[in-house]
Structure 1
Amino acid sequence: MNIAVSQRSQSGRDHRVDFWRGIALVMIFINHIPGNLYENFTSRNFGFSDAAELFVFLAGFASAFAYGRLFFGGHRLVATLKAWRRAGVLVLVQFMLVTVAVGIYCWGALALGRGEILTRIGFQQFISAPIETMVGIATMTHQFGYVNILPMYAVLLFMLPVLLALARISLNVMLAVSATVWLLAYVFAIDLPNYPLPGGWFFNPISWQLVFAIGLYCGFRRMERGFAVACRPWLVGLAAAYCIVAFLTVRLDLWSWWGSLPFPVLLTGFDKTYVSLPRLLHVLAAIYLFANAAPTSVFSRIGRDNPFAMLGRHSLPIFAAGTVMSLFGQVVKYGQTPHLLADTLMICGGIAIMFVFARYLEWWASAQKAALGPVAGRAIDPTRANRPAGAEAAGGSRRAGAALGEPARARG
């Protein structure tokens, strides 16, 4: 394949990717505060998949641009180390979030005077067997609820060089191998251990790698020919029909009908750990519909300044901030019923903080470029630092003013 150097490669950033990633981040924040009114309006209430599948697909799509071009351009080691470095950052953020989660829940138990709050999101094992559980936390095998998606993402980035190596052979080969691994993971119950508890990870990376690989495939196709999957009227109609079936299943509670079909759970169930086929097809159908929205649609005219695109450009710090706020929200909402005013203040306040934080990150990135640009462009005299204190004055005030004073005033 010659994707990395293809003349048709798309060099501009597709802000729709950032937009939908920002939408996914907001929905994850809302869904991670159980019992609030607004969780009834997120995507999981209208189909089989939720924000997690969308987020992982987009991560794969973006990885084609972030690492694939380097890998295919002959810089395989650099691309590999770059992906693994990002995975390492995710691991560090995961450890931080787990520590914060413990602190928030312990604070909640003390502040509310209700120790039973520590029985939620997997804290029972931490209380009953702290030594073994700390080993599991340090190795990321024991994961608390709502703080368990980053380990899966990190494993996918560690696996990325293998997917890229397969993609160099053929994108179809990569997808075939990925789908085979996904199938074998379900058939033989292959998962990473959840030490010290039995079972495996809730987000099984051996299965979720297929969602990531499909996103990677679409990203490469986008670079190669300008679109991931061609827009076909019959395919649009099929995707729309499937989304309607999924919507009716959820809203009319028709789950039992799917369970009555004489097929394995992987093909007719809705298991999230192993990414059952109905969930996978739903997120792909929804993405296909929005990716082929009419040119006049607002979804086809997403610009850089879109607020949700701004969230998506800074997905990791925004996700971390949203997770911390959602953990506080879980403690505050503990034992309470949905309440319009309280839930509105909590959800809208949290989303507002996410937007403010993203805007700060945008400003900080611009400020760094503005500050470092003139510095990087100036020639630096390596002997200047070793000159005696009076040497500068001996050179004459005119030279000192030209070298230091005037550029400084111009920049000010």
Structure 2
Amino acid sequence: MAIIAPKSQTSRDNRVDFWRGIALMMIFVNHVPGTVWERYTSRNFGFSDAAELFVFLAGFAAAFAYGRPFLGGYRLFASLKAYRRAGTLFLVQMTLTMLTIGLFAWAALAFGEGRLMWRMNLNALSTEPLEAFFGLASFGHQFGYVNILPMYIALLLIMPIHLWLASISRELMLGASIAFWAVTWTFNLNIPAFPNPGGWFFNPLAWQVIFAVGLYAGLRKTAGLPSVPYRPWLFALALGYLLVSFVIVHYGLWSLIFDLGIPGPLTSFDKTFAAVPRVLHVLALVYVFANASPGSPFADIRRENVIAAMGRHSLPVFACGTLLSLVCQTIKFGGEEHVLFDTTLIGIGIGIQILIAQWIEWWGGYQKSVAAERSAGRPHGTTREPETASPPAPPSATLSAAHDARGP
């Protein structure tokens, strides 16, 4: 039986944007290795890191941006909308790639550090330039720290398949995704890299399962159902898993897992193939925080929250944060940890990202105010009279403005 898209929901869960903003900040910190603050990101407290959380939330947001119109009968429209977003991300990825080359080439010349051109997979530009540039254009060759967007582009391209299965049954979509994930690590499936051997670091054939779980939770939310229903026993189990993973990571007790004799995919921590412990960890993390008590500060996030604003504008913030992290790498190159220097470096980077999000917020509100005044036939800047106020937007417009958070 086909799923019929439910009635519009006009409220937006700012918690999704908040945690997406948190993930963006942690990604930025992790992309500046060698600072003291790197010790305090989520990867030091469990099996997963900010990348898994970000992909889950991207899937959740995709349920609103693409799932609703797709399940409402506008399959071609939703699919082309996703492909258009993928095209935008492609342009952003190409821009970041060229800026990365320019930045590290300049830093190598300015600082006299040729070693900078041998970081992050940049060395192929010198040893195999023709092959490397073809690889960059085709995503076969990806720089370290600039390799998340290609994976997300691939997820957008295959998302219509997820949604087609979800139109039959959400559970069918989720089950098929999990089955394909199992196939990828059973047969070591990945998209080939070029010119270097191996495959993509972020293997979209495996990471699609995290995206699909987020999409499943989001589709439940659009249907008026709890995205993650609360069960006391499940909450306790998730909390226990987070505690065990923290103890193992913090105290280095990896032998507790490796000595179990369980097949590799169930006990490995391979990031490329989204190993089982990593996926279970991010799902446990989401479940615990999604079911936070009403009195928790994470239960009621306001729209005005600056971190939530970062999550609402994730693509420009992510792109800027990626470039800033690479700038910080060139500044930090070869340096030791230093609390004051590292705090200043990370603080300025995060501060710039916050300012970008606030600028976009202001600019969006300013454009709306100008449009409202023009529709009312008044010059910009004049005082609004009560009788000339614009009528409220229709529910469809409210839905579009509230939920078109497509992430990154």
Structure 1 length as normaliser, TM-score? 0.90
Q: Decide whether the 8 Å contact of 2:67 with 2:78 is kept in 1.
A: yes
**1:410 Cα deviation from its structure 2 partner:** 3.7
Match for 1:177: what amino acid? A
AA aligned to 1:140 is F
Structure 1 residues 299 and 408 mapped into 2: Cα distance closer, same or farther (>3 Å)? closer
Separation (CA, whole Å) in 1 of partners of 2:154 and 2:260: 34
Q: Secondary structure of the residue that 1:298 maps to in structure 2?
A: coil
Contact 1:311–1:318 at 8 Å: present in 2 too?
yes
**Structure 2 CA distance for aligned equivalents of residues 24 and 66 of structure 1:** 20
2:75 maps to what in 1? Answer: 76
Matched residues in 1 for 2:313 and 2:122: separation? 30
Deviations 1:12-33 (A, max 9, x none): 1110000000000000000000
| Rounded Cα–Cα distance in structure 2 between residues aligned with 1:246 and 1:101 | 35
Displacement, 1:5?
3.6
CA distance in 2, matches of 1:272, 1:34: 18
Aligned to 1:313: 312
Q: Which residue is equivalent to 1:6?
A: 6
CA distance in 2, matches of 1:338, 1:252: 22
5+ long unaligned stretches in structure 1:
379-405
Which residue matches 1:397? none
Q: Deviations over 1:182-234 (max 9, x none)?
A: 11111111111111111100000000000000000000111223311211111
Give per-residue Cα distances to partners, 1:365-408, cap 9 Å, x unaligned: 11111222333555xxxxxxxxxxxxxxxxxxxxxxxxxxx756
CA separation in 2, counterparts of 1:303 and 1:409?
A: 28
Q: Does 1:94 align with 2:71?
A: no
Kept in 1, the 8 Å contact 2:3–2:167? The answer is no
* Bigger share in helix: 1
Deviation of 1:83 (Å) = 0.6
Contact 1:329 1:346 in 2 (8 A): yes
Question: Percent identity among equivalent residues?
Answer: 51
2:57 is aligned with 1:37:
no
Query: Given that residues 3 and 224 in structure 1 are in contact (C-alpha distance below 8 angstroms), is that contact kept between their aligned partners in structure 2?
Result: no
- Equivalent residues in 2 for 1:220-259, closer than 5 Å: 220-259=219-258
Cα distance, 1:167 vs. partner? 0.3
Match of 2:342 in 1: 343
Q: Is the 8 A contact 2:2 2:168 kept in 1?
A: no
CA contact (8 A) 1:152 1:203 kept: yes
Partner of 1:191: 190
Residues 199 and 73 of structure 1, relative CA distance in 2, 3 Å threshold: same
Return the offset for 1:261: 2.1
- Give 3-state SS (helix, strand or coil) of 2:295's partner: coil
Higher mean alpha-carbon deviation, 259-268 vs 170-179, is at 259-268
Q: What letter matches 1:309 in structure 2? A: A
Letter in 1 for 2:163: L
In the alignment, the residues of structure 1 paired with residue 190 and residue 240 of structure 2 have an alpha-carbon distance, to the nearest angstrom, of 33
Instruction: For 1:132 and 1:209, locate their aligned partners in 2 and report how far apart those are by CA, in whole Å.
Output: 28
* SS of alignment partner, residue 123 of structure 2: helix
Deviations 1:128-165 (A, max 9, x none): 00110000001111000000000000110011110000
Q: After superposition, what is the alpha-carbon deviation per residue over 1:290-311, rounded to whole angstroms, capped at 9, x for unaligned?
A: 0000001110010101111000
Alignment length (residue pairs): 384
Q: Which amino acid aligns with 1:77?
A: L
Assess, with a 3 A threshold, how the Cα gap between structure 1 residues 4 and 296 changes in structure 2: closer, same or farther: farther
CA contact (8 A) 2:68 2:222 kept: no
Q: 1:35 to 1:68 in 2, by over 3 A?
A: same
Q: Which runs of 4+ in 1 moved over 4 A?
A: 1-4, 406-409
CA distance in structure 1 between the partners assigned to 2:257 and 2:101 by the alignment: 39
In 1, the alpha carbon distance for the partners of 2:330 and 2:213 equals 37
3-state DSSP class of the match of 2:223?
helix
Would the aligned equivalents of 1:10 and 1:226 in 2 still touch at CA under 8 Å?
Answer: no
Distance in 2 separating the partners of 1:287 and 1:231? 12
1:4 shift after superposition: 5.3
Code of the residue aligned with 2:82 in structure 1: it is: A
For the aligned residue pairs, the C-alpha RMSD in angstroms reads 1.5
Distance 1:244 1:349 in 2: 33
Provide the residue aligned with 1:219 in structure 2: 218
The equivalent of 2:321 in structure 1 is 322
CA contact (8 A) 1:59 1:212 kept: yes
Q: In the alignment, what sits opposite 2:406?
A: none
Give the C-alpha shift of residue 258 in structure 1: 1.4
8 Å CA contact 1:243, 1:285 repeated in 2? yes
Letter in 2 for 1:57: F
Gaps of 5+ in 2: 385-408
Does the 8 A contact of 1:4 with 1:70 survive in 2?
Answer: no
What CA distance in whole angstroms lies between the structure 1 residues aligned with 2:322 and 2:308? 19
Q: Distance in 1 between matches of 2:162 and 2:268?
A: 27
Give TM-score, length-normalised by structure 2: 0.91
Alignment of 1:138-287 (within 5 A): 138-287=137-286
Question: Are residues 302 and 131 of structure 1, via their aligned partners in 2, closer, same or farther at CA, if it must alter by over 3 Å?
Answer: same
Q: 1:49 to 1:407 in 2, by over 3 A?
A: closer
Which residue type is aligned with residue 29 of structure 2? I
- C-alpha separation in 1, matches of 2:93 and 2:383: 41
Q: Deviations over 1:89-128 (max 9, x none)?
A: 1111000111111111111111110101111100111210
1 CA distance for matches of 2:67 and 2:373?
A: 32
**Secondary structure, aligned partner of 1:123:** coil
**Contact map agreement 1:218 1:229 (CA 8 A) in 2:** yes
Q: Note if contact 1:61-1:217 (Cα within 8 Å) is conserved in structure 2.
A: yes
State the 1:256 CA deviation: 2.5
